[in-house]
Amino acid sequence: MSHDFLTGLSSRREIFVKGKKRYFECVTSGSPFSLVMIDIDYLKKINDAYGHRTGDRLLTEASDIIRLNSRAGDISARYGGEEFVLILPETDIEGARKVAERIREQFENHVFCSECGQDIKFTGSFGVYQYDTFKNEEFEHGLMAVDEALYQAKKSGRNRISYMK
């Protein structure tokens, strides 16, 4: 399955299939290549308070925000649970940071309405990583590095962006 059934974004499998392909194209051309990993902050609390249907709708709205901030050649995917990955070919760390900040602000300012009519605010934590395409790193190395950057953002207070070099 190439798309996540809930969000319509690319599936986790597609991260590896399409992501590796785009990464090696950038390595060959010498273009920059970055990743953004996103985690919806405290989704479990929202699920516990309002139910999983509301949590699923929130994930769908968050994925719409992510999709709207992606270019045609980017790959936006659901990594698992409440985590998403943006694969940004031909994008350096500064460009990836700008995309992450735009999405972070939109999450923070978005008012989501629960099934029972309750307005819910949500935020996200973000990790950003730029591959060193001259080192010809393994694609999976970047996923581990961006995951570590995301962990640092969550550890340092959430609703923020952290970088890995």
Q: Which fold has domain 12-164?
A: Alpha-Beta Plaits (3.30.70)
Radius of gyration of the chain (CA): 16
Give me the active site residues, please: 82
pLDDT at 52 over 90: yes
Burial of 153: CB neighbours in 10 Å, binned 0-12, 13-18, 19+: buried
- In the predicted model, what is the mean pLDDT of residues 39-45? 97
Q: For residue 83, which of 130, 1, 146 has the smallest C-alpha distance?
A: 146
pLDDT at 1: 67
Compute CA distances 143 → 18, 52, 105, 139, 150, whole Å.
Answer: 14, 28, 23, 7, 10
- State phi, psi for 44 to the nearest 5 degrees: -60, -40
Question: Using an 8 Å Cβ cutoff, are 9 and 107 in contact?
Answer: no
Lowest mean pLDDT among 5-19, 126-140, 149-163: 126-140
CB-CB contact of 103 with 123 (8 Å): no
Specify the pTM. Answer: 0.96
Percent of the chain having pLDDT more than 90?
90
Q: What local confidence, expressed as pLDDT, does residue 129 receive? A: 98
Show me where the domains of the chain are located: 12-164
